[in-house]
Every structure is written in structure tokens, then in C-alpha cells.
Amino acid sequence: MDNFGGKTAFITGGAGGIGLSMARSLARHGANIMLADVDEDQLAAARADLEQMEANVATVACDVAKAEDVEMAAQRTLDCFGKVHIVINNAGVSLGGRTGAVSLEDWRWIVDINLMGVVHGVEIFTPLIRCQGEGGHFVNTASMAGHWAAKNLGPYNATKFAVVGYSETMRQELADDGIGVSVLCPGWVRTNIHKASLKRPSAADYESTSTDALTYSQAAAAVESGIDPDIVGDWVVDCIRAERFYIFTHPEMLPAIDARADMIKADYAACAADFRFKYA
């Protein structure tokens, strides 16, 4: 997709951070914007921001963990703009903790938002885009944590790896429909993602450990020194136009991916060298 004029983009987690930055960039390229977010106050502020750019924008309160909310948001998008061409499943939260010390309630919370929120957006919007017969594009926000698993971030890593794998499948399945797919895998970006864990279900009763406090402080420092989200927003639009699947933001993180690939190859070589797996 290289022409956004008159196209409609639906963006979850669109009231701030990378979501709002992607909305700004798409609006500058002439797209209609439907912002979806769970925070109605921030939605109003985001809408005012885009209206100052003279963008054609609407908003809808939406909890992506609830399929019925996403269905309602999809209908609202069609009611406002008639069609939808670009779906950006961007809403997400963060959650850390050591293996064996994360409550199942917290696990369900992050899976419902980070993974099922993407699933809801894809499964609900794909038939709509298909039936229009005009092609389209999905952008699913994962993370470098979808390629490189850091310790004390098991729930976050698991959901982001899942989004990468799901997106890789989508890319193969939707190509014949003229629907492109990208998976956004940013590194450290100046957003409020590290604060999301403060809203996890167990927050009121949770007793933070020194390990938790250190993990949080390190994440906060990294995020606050990260790149401007507007850089990411513009880069995403460039990558959609280039039909690029993986959208990375931090070249300096490539050695981490290489190290993981080397470990996989080494262990696969061990399998290949074992007589039990040799076939005549």
C-alpha cells in the first residue's frame, strides 16, 4: 500500500505513545483516523491533537481484551468512514516477574490484552477488509521482546513472541487477498508502557520484591531515554509503503538476535549430529 489518501486506519492504543504517533503520520498522508483506546480522557486529548492538524478523526472507547468492544469499534469505524483499510493492533501492557512468582490472574490479564487484543482485531477486521476487495494492511505491535527474551519479563516476552508468530502466519495467509501484514518490533521508545504493570489485577495486594523494584527501575530508565515515538510513527508508514514485514527500530540490538540464532543453530547441529536422528 503506497497511497493513504482517503483510506481509513483503525488504531488501538491510539490515545498516546506509538499509537498516536502512527495516527499523526497516517493523517499527514491523508488517511482517515479512528482512534480506539480504553482511556476516554486521553482519547479526547488525542482527538484534539489530530484535529489541530486538520485530520479527519473519530474516536471510540474500546477495551481490546473484550471481543464485543472490538466488534462495536469496527462497526463504529464503518459508520463513520464507510470502509476500513489499515488496522493497527497496537494496544498493549507490560508485566514482569520471576518464573513461579507471577499470579495466574496477572498472566490472564496480559495475555487478554497483548495477544487476544491482537487476535480480536485481526479476526474481526479481516472479513471486513476482504469483502471490500480493495486490499489493506495490518500492523501488529510486538516488541524486540518478541525476538529476544530478557529475564524477569516472562509474561511480556511470551505474549510478544506469540504476536510475532501469529503475524508470520497471517502474512502467508492474507497475501492472496492483497492484504499486507507487518509486525512492529520496537526497542526502547519514550512511552508510558512501563507504567502499565501498575494496573495489573494483583497490584493492590502485591508485595514488591527488591528484584521487582530493580526490574521496574531499569525498564523505566530505558524507556525514558528511548527514541521519540514520532520517529517510530513515521517509520511504520514508510515500512507499510515498502511492504516490509518486520519493522525494527534499533539497529544496535541486532547482536541479540544474532546470538539467539547462533544458539538455535548450535543446538540444531547437535540434533543433526546425533545418530538417532539420521535417516538413510
CATH of the domain at 75: 3.40.50.720
pLDDT at 269: 95
pLDDT of the residue at 160: 98
Rounded Cα–Cα distance for residues 268 and 83 (Å): 47
Whether residue 156 lies in the annotated active site: yes
1, part of any domain: no
| Number of other residues whose CB lies within 10 A of the CB of residue 127 | 10
In a domain, 74, yes or no: yes
pLDDT at site 222: 74
Q: Report pTM.
A: 0.92
The predicted pLDDT at position 215 comes to 67
* pLDDT for the residue 100: 95
Would you state the pLDDT for residue 53? 95
Look at residue 258 and tell me if it is in a domain. no
- Predicted local confidence at residue 207, as pLDDT: 61
Please check whether residue 271 lies inside any domain of the structure: no
Cβ atoms within 10 Å, residue 16: 20
Number of domains in the chain: 1
Question: Which residue ranges of the chain lie beneath pLDDT 50?
Answer: 280
Question: Is residue 104 one of the residues assigned to a domain?
Answer: yes
For residue 82, being part of any structural domain is answered with yes
- Cell for 30? 491523508
Q: In the prediction, which pLDDT does 209 show? A: 62
- The pLDDT, as a whole number, for residue 178 is 97
Structural domain boundaries enclosing 179: 8-252
User: Which pLDDT score is estimated for 220?
Assistant: 73
The two counts, helices (H) then strands (E), for the chain are 9, 7
Residue 98 lies in a domain: yes
Please tell me the predicted confidence (pLDDT) of residue 62.
98
Has residue 272 been placed in a domain? no
